[in-house]
Structure 1
Amino acid sequence: MARWDPGAEERLKAAAIALCLEHGYDAVTVTQIAERAGLTRRSFFRYFPDKREVFFGGSDRLPPALTEAVASADGSLDLLQAVTIALVEVGEALLREVEGAKDRSVVIAGSRELQERERTKMADVARAATEGLRQRGADDATARLLGRVAVAVFETAFAQSIEDDDPAGSIAAHVNAEFSRLAKLIDG
């Protein structure tokens, strides 16, 4: 077997999801994941530092992508419009990249450890949105508030999108619907 097996990372992710759906996250070992993927335990650690990261591999690219998308949105847009467009852009890209998003979400929902890891990752995303808003000229309080609200909208819209037949195609509708729902709640 080649040292860097083509497709190994994707096979590891698929194996982890399948095994965790069958047995639960806590009952599955790295060795079992590697064996299901046709690899060794050592190979697993070439791609992921620990078992949790098999579900979050590549997530480190999300915060800088969001900062850039918010900061570089058309200068004529207000802050809310800029963050909305950025969430859609990044959400579409994420949904195209994440294989088995629906099953992944089921596994995460069944594990406190993975839920905590997801909260940590989403806090990084909120900081990224906040930074993008600051780069657009938002004051600190506004940037922090809108950055956190944007992530809440994104999480809700993303969860709804993965239930759809065309997840990447539906993220815009869900992001816009969630911001509209929020506006209605605020208006009373």
Structure 2
Amino acid sequence: MGRWTTGARQRLQAAALELFAERGYAATTVAAVAARAGLTERTFFRHFPDKREVLFADDQALVEGLLAAVRDAPDPTDAWDAARRALAAMARELEPRREELRRRARVIAADPDLVERDVVKHDRVVTALARAMQEHGADPARAALAAAVAGAVFRVAYQDWLAAPGEDPAAGGLAAHLERTADDLGRSLSPPR
């Protein structure tokens, strides 16, 4: 095996997800993941610090996309608009990966340690989003609230999108689920007329 194998990271991620789904997260070793990918354990650890991180390795790229959406917002002091733009950016990034994300969600849901890691990562994303909005002029309290609400909207819409059978064209993709969830939230907070 060559020292720098093309696509090693992606191969390791795909192999890990396959094995976690087949055998369970706890029963899968790094050696088995590396072997399935046709690589060595050393290559695995060159790309990931631990077995759990193979499932969460793309989170930093998503965070960077969120922060870019906040930076590029026409009025970054409008925290809710910036948060919705960040959610739309995340949807564009995730939509093509729906089947992979479904498998990933099942693996995470089946292991309490992975669920905990997922919650911690989610909280870090919300914190980073709030900080980015503050750095671009949004009021700190509004930025924190908008980021927290955006995080909740994302969780609900994401789970709904993953659970939807097939992809009903009328239901739309993740972006449409996010818009509907945000709109539902707005309606639920409006007083009845």
TM-score class, shorter: 0.7 to 0.9
Q: CA RMSD in A?
A: 2.4
What one-letter code is carried by the residue in structure 2 that aligns with 1:178?
T
Q: CA deviation at 1:116?
A: 1.2
- Assess, with a 3 A threshold, how the Cα gap between structure 1 residues 115 and 36 changes in structure 2: closer, same or farther: same
Q: Which moved more, 1:85-94 or 1:17-26?
A: 85-94
Runs of 4+ in 1 over 4 A off after TM superposition: none
Query: Could you tell me how far apart the structure 2 residues matched to 1:63 and 1:166 are?
Result: 28
Would the aligned equivalents of 1:95 and 1:101 in 2 still touch at CA under 8 Å?
no
Q: In structure 1, what residue type is equivalent to 2:137?
A: G
SS at match of 2:26: helix
CA contact (8 A) 1:129 1:150 kept: no
Structure 2 Cα separation of the partners of residues 70 and 54 of structure 1: 27
Residue 157 of structure 2 corresponds to residue 182 of structure 1? no
Other-structure match for 2:115 = 115
2:145 maps to 145
Amino acid at match of 1:104: R
Q: Deviations over 1:142-171 (max 9, x none)?
A: 11111111011112222333445399x612
The answer as to 2:94 corresponding to 1:91 is no
User: Equivalent residue for 1:165?
Assistant: 167
Gap regions ≥5 residues in structure 1: none
Q: Is the 8 A contact 1:64 1:128 kept in 2?
A: no
- Of all paired residues, the percent bearing the same amino acid is 40
The residue that corresponds to 1:4 in the other structure is 4
Q: Which moved further from structure 2: 26-35 or 74-83?
A: 74-83
Distance 1:135 1:40 in 2: 42
Q: Is the 8 A contact 2:77 2:133 kept in 1?
A: no
Supply the distance in 2 between the matched residues of 1:115 and 1:138 (Cα, whole angstroms).
31
Deviation readout 1:4-35 (Å, 9 max, x if unpaired): 11122112111111111111111111111111
Structure 2 residue runs without a partner (length 5+): none
Secondary structure in 2 matching 1:2: coil
8 Å Cα contact 1:91-1:158 kept in structure 2: no
**Separation of aligned partners in 2, 1:154 and 1:13:** 24
